[in-house]
Structure 1
Amino acid sequence: MSQIVIISGSPTPGSRLNGIIERVESNWKEKGIEVGHIRVADLPAEALLHANFKDESILAALAQVEAASGVVIASPVYKASYTGILKAFLDLLPQTGLKGKATLPLFIGGTIAHLLSLDYALKPVLSVLGSRNILGGVFAIDQWVQRLDNGGFELSDELRERLDRSADELAEEVAWLGVRANGNGSQA
């Protein structure tokens, strides 16, 4: 079975980013794709900041990334870049920690002016980590994700469509990587 891991760099439990993550995750689960989560804010802060590779939580998170065929990098945008806690986690990945993996960025920010944070802040780091298959990603504006009274989220029609297309694209890439890993160069 294919596996995708979602790395969430939001420091806020009620972040609108969760609405975006829930949408793509439900898409993959409908396809029978196993999805794991790393909520960087839930990792022990001291172990994260001191790069404690003996910490069980850090080791478990790194093992999830290593085992995954697809990696989602999700973050709110602050000051034209992804969050500092996400950067702290990415710094713990081995130099080739994303080699052979398809990566999908999902960002949310207050204004479209932060759109280029995907290309100028995140993609160079993913490339340095060995990712050669970085999908286009989705950038959402806060107002496209509404918090509901019941704790859920409502996404704009356009955002749902874009997320569905990106989720499908990552699922296809992960399936292709699985076929390639099994030694069959052609996709069935």
Structure 2
Amino acid sequence: MGTILVVCASPSARSTTRAALQRAVVPRLEHLGHDTGWLSVRDLPAAPLMAADPTAPALQRAAAALDSADGVVLGTPVYKASFSGLLKVFLDVLPRDALGGKAVLPLATGDSPLHGLALDFALLPVLNSMGARHVVPGCFLTTRELRADAATPSTLERAADRLHTAVRAAQVGV
């Protein structure tokens, strides 16, 4: 069906973003028949990330995983009205066309519903500049929604379904 790389760009060890990805998005994509890969940017070595050194072996492996994926989920917390700095330094170390031809699902978590604007006004321009073939409508959940847990799985599953549809369309040349 296609390979989806799920990227978690939360700097926190106990992360609501990570939990949302692992509890709902990954299982849904696998249920739909996708192979999934997992990349926690937090676990990459800080020195080459901060130095934007794409020759570091760990960053080369991360770039190769991204390159071989048909689709990408980018999960990030929103801090101060923008996506995480960890995601930014990761995207900065990648080649300019690293998302070329890929379907991308941005997923963000934050404290205020207004933080959802970061997907369209902060992250989307970066994804477009990196050649994303199709950025599917993103998914934003507040910390409160994630803690309530009632509607969260279906919201996240619908987001995963949108990525699935975009990857399938790309595979058949639509």
TM-score, length basis structure 2: 0.94
Structure 2: how far apart are the matches of 1:85 and 1:18? Answer: 14
Corresponding position: 1:163 with 2:131? no
SS at match of 2:83: coil
Q: Unpaired runs of 5+ in structure 2?
A: none
Displacement of 1:85: 1.0
| Identical-residue share of aligned pairs (%) | 36
Displacement of 1:132: 3.5
Deviation string, structure 1 residues 80-129 (Cα, Å, up to 9, x no partner): 00111110000112111111100101000001121110011100000000
Report how many residues are paired: 173
Amino acid at match of 1:110: D
Counterpart contact for 1:19–1:155, Cα < 8 Å = no
Question: Match for residue 79 of structure 1?
Answer: 80
Question: Match for residue 103 of structure 1?
Answer: 104
Corresponding position: 1:179 with 2:172? yes
Counterpart contact for 2:136–2:166, Cα < 8 Å = no
Question: Match for residue 19 of structure 1?
Answer: 19
Counterpart contact for 1:66–1:97, Cα < 8 Å = yes
Structure 2: how far apart are the matches of 1:20 and 1:5? Answer: 15
Q: Unpaired runs of 5+ in structure 1?
A: 147-153
Query: Greater share of helix residues, 1 or 2?
Result: 2
Structure 2: how far apart are the matches of 1:122 and 1:161? Answer: 24
**Within 5 A, what are the aligned runs for 1:13-52?**
13-22=13-22, 23-52=24-53
User: Whose radius of gyration is greater, 1 or 2?
Assistant: 1
SS at match of 2:39: strand
Amino acid at match of 2:104: T
Structure 2: how far apart are the matches of 1:177 and 1:13? Answer: 34
Displacement of 1:31: 2.2
Structure 2: how far apart are the matches of 1:156 and 1:125? Answer: 32
RMSD: 1.3
